Amino acid sequence: MSDRIKDVRVVLASQSPRRADVLRQLGIVPEVRPADVDEAYEEGETPREHVERLARSKAGTVFAHEGDALVVGGDTVVVHAGNVLVKPADEAAAVEMLVDLSGSRHQVLSGIALAWSGGVVGSVAMTTVRMRRYDRDMAEAYVATGEPMDKAGGYGIQGLGAALVDSIDGDYYAVVGFPVVAFLELLADSGFRYAFGAITPNLLE
């Protein structure tokens, strides 16, 4: 019987607990090494370009110090009516953001990137989210829970914010902040195999 193929060491270049949680749900326990990169927009940069560039930058920056690992980077933005929604500055801003989202659709752009000895690759998943029609009282009650304050767009679909969502078109996990489908496609395209709890080199390549 041949020796088992050694699992790839996975490093997550993000301090987001939600991205780490999704990886753990896939059975992958990453080492967490947040990347220190400038997240400002470059002149003329679109939201899609921005999230992919930042995901690549985070992965590449951490890989420079983790050369024997597969480094995963990510970045997510919420776009509504042509405007990028960042994390709310305070509770009042969170309430106004949520009231504005009520009964409408918005897009979540989630960039994902891999950095390893073969280079850096990335892609972007876009999911459209339709919110329920709710009133200001409900928005205020949700903000009072504290959940929206560290989340772009002012809500968390994986938490209490699920009560505000009517439907989605696309990858649910992209809204959480870690697009699983795009991640698995990048792995396959880069010569890795996801083995339900581990990532290994694809020796059939």
Annotated active-site positions, please? 75
For residues 74 and 19, is the Cβ–Cβ distance under 8 A?
A: yes
Q: Render 61-123 in DSSP notation, one character per residue.
A: HHHTT-TTSEEEEEEEEEEETTEEE---SSHHHHHHHHHHHTT-EEEEEEEEEEEETTEEEEE
The phi, psi pair for 53, rounded to 5°, reads -60, -45
Backbone CA torsion sign across 85, 86, 89, 95: positive
The phi, psi pair for 81, rounded to 5°, reads 50, 40
For residues 73 and 57, is the Cβ–Cβ distance under 8 A?
A: yes
